Structure 1
Amino acid sequence: MLSQSSRANRWWWDGNADDYQGEHGGFLGDARFVWCPEGLDEADAQLLGEVGGRAVLEIGCGAAQCARWLAGRGARVAAFDISHRQLRHSQRIDLETGVRVPVVQADAEALPYREGVFDLACSAFGALPFVAEPLAVFREVRRVLRPGGRFVFSVSHPIRWAFPDDPGPRGLTSDRSYFDRTPYTETGERGEVTYVEHHRTMGDWVGLLAAAGLRLDGLTEPEWPPGHERVWGGWSPLRGRNLPGTAIFSCSA
């Protein structure tokens, strides 16, 4: 059974996938692996290492742009997302590019894959900011990874939760406690929850990885690159020059 967070976010992404892909699809590309709004590209960062011939799972794939990039470099790819509408955009891009990525609709807290079948798992802002039980996700990732398999994922940098989600000067002044883990929610006209995003501190993420039996091998905090002027929600050149916006965790099973 889906949690309240999963139900709300499946509903939200199904309703907003078209606008999301319309606004950000050009930046993400059809077959490009972008880790974050700062524009860090896996082609340059190589956080996953060699992917050719490896079995790779993309978690919360959206329109599977990252998975398509991986497939283009010889990886054997599987991908999933909770949103059916996002997966329809993946199907559209498959037809436009001729690069087909096998995708399924699934919840990250209960992966529909056998134990120990993947060499790598990755997630670029997919699923993890939105799930109520990240420990369940990490345990599932460890289950489907082969021993020694690699898992790399990006999320909003935890420090951002102490600041307003504003790309302008207001977003530079902390107005809430970093330690307040109250989720950000949106509700509909009848009071039903329609969107949920969860906050974990840096210590929370590290502790959850350890509890799931995953080893943290590295942490990347991408700097805002010179000449990058794109605003994406609360991400902007102004804030990016002063505050980290993304945290990328590199782990192994």
Structure 2
Amino acid sequence: MTLDTAPGPAGHEDDDEDVAVRRPAAVEESSRASRQWWDRNADEYQEEHGSFLGDDRFTWCPEGLDEERARLLGPAGSLTGLDVLEIGAGAAQCSRWLAGQGARPVALDLSYRQLQHARRIDLGRAGVPVALVQADAAALPFADGSFDLACSAYGAVPFSADTAGLMREVHRVLRPGGRWVFSTTHPIRWAFPDDGGEEGLTASGSYFDRTPYVEQDDRGRASYVEHHRTMGDRVRELVAAGFTLLDLVEPEWPEELTDAWEGWSPLRGKYLPGTAIFVSRRN
């Protein structure tokens, strides 16, 4: 699971030499930037958020909605014996939870360093390690109809320049009737600054501006890229790829959660949705 800690226009410039811009970013550039960013920041990310994510918890979003309660993948007991692909798995926390439910998960991530953290966690635990695969979600290295279910908690989808192609790839590797459930930044947040305080409550851009958010060095080389799609874009991509949308979940911020994930905060959570979870089924 890789919850992005700073989506959208305001960004998270952690390198003094990088600047944030809005400009086109093609598939290859976006993929390379994502791989390098997560390899470079995986250690800090896991150290900062590891306790929230746990080692074997399936958390959908910064709002803390977990699959144990939400059951978006299916009712309790229904995962036993299923072949499951987790896309953008990070340190494979969600996949370990799936294994605990009797599923056979494969944890896929673009970042080698994130998968090293997955292996580190597995080495400190008893039981069978989770199967790990390093690959781009836009070119899944699996045969047609390899999986019964696919899921992603903030992995791959926000960073892909070709999410329509990504949806087709997921459709290809799923068996008929298989679910595809993914969480991503709620599209409305792209109209607001990525600020957990009062400034984050005032729209500063157009919801319809799909120009990618890019952090780049003084030579214009992207170090981080994130892509915006409207809610309608997401639905149309799913339908065009051959999925039926079963549900669209917009988790509310729970009163008991006082921690903040950069622009996700109790204040903003009172007024704006931070996450959209799409629940779909392969036709």
Normalising by structure 1, we get a TM-score of 0.98
Partner of 1:21: 46
Task: Indicate which of 219, 241, 264 corresponds to 1:190.
Answer: 219
Q: CA deviation at 1:3?
A: 1.0
Shift of 1:98: 2.6
Give the distance between the partners of 1:91 and 1:190, measured in 2 at CA. Answer: 35
1:169 aligns to what? 198
Aligned to 1:87: 115
Partner of 2:94: 66
Q: Calculate the aligned-residue CA RMSD, in Å.
A: 1.1
Q: Which moved more, 1:184-193 or 1:124-133?
A: 184-193
Q: Distance in 2 between matches of 1:177 and 1:189?
A: 27
Letter in 1 for 2:49: H
- 1:146 is aligned to 175
Aligned-pair CA distance for 1:79: 1.4
Distance 1:48 1:168 in 2: 33
Partner SS for 2:158: coil
1:13-62 per-residue CA deviation (whole Å, 9 max, x = no partner) reads 00000000011111000000000000001000000012111111000100
Partner-residue secondary structure (3-state), 2:247: strand
Equivalent residue of 1:97, what SS? coil
User: Partner residue of 1:55?
Assistant: 83
CA distance in 1, matches of 2:230, 2:252: 20
Counterpart Cα distance in 2 of 1:222 and 1:6: 28
Residues of 2 paired with 1:103 and 1:170: CA distance? 41
Per the alignment, residue 209 of structure 2 pairs with 180
Deviation at 1:191, TM superposition (A): 2.1
Q: Which amino acid aligns with 2:52?
A: F
Task: Give 3-state SS (helix, strand or coil) of 1:3's partner.
Answer: helix
Gaps of 5+ in 2: 1-26
Q: Which has the higher contact order (CA 8 A, sep 6+)?
A: 2
The Cα of 1:190 is off from its aligned counterpart by 2.7
Tell me the residue number matched to 2:31.
6
For residue 58 of structure 2, the aligned residue among 33, 48, 53 is 33
Per-residue CA distance 1:163-186 (angstroms, 9 max, x = gap): 000000100000100000011110
Q: Distance in 1 between matches of 2:114 and 2:125?
A: 17
Whole-Å separation in 1 of the counterparts to 2:29 and 2:50: 28
The structural deviation recorded for 1:189 is: 3.6
Partner of 2:134: 105
Q: Which amino acid aligns with 1:4?
A: E
Over 4 Å off, 4+ runs: none
Aligned counterparts of 1:125 and 1:51: Cα–Cα separation in 2: 21
Where in structure 2 are the equivalents of 1:211-222 lying within 5 Å? 211-222=240-251
Q: Secondary structure at the match of 1:207?
A: helix
Structure 1: gaps of 5 or more residues: none
**CA distance in 2 between partners of 1:97 and 1:194 (Å):** 34
Aligned residue number for residue 229 of structure 2:
200
**Alignment partners' CA distance in 2, 1:74 and 1:189:** 49
Letter in 1 for 2:257: H
User: For residue 10 of structure 1, what is the amino acid of its counterpart?
Assistant: R
Report the identity percentage: 64
In the aligned structure 1, how far is the partner of 2:125 from the partner of 2:229? 37
Q: Distance in 2 between matches of 1:182 and 1:164?
A: 15
2-side partners of 1:230 and 1:21: how far apart?
16
Count of paired positions: 253
Amino acid at match of 2:80: G
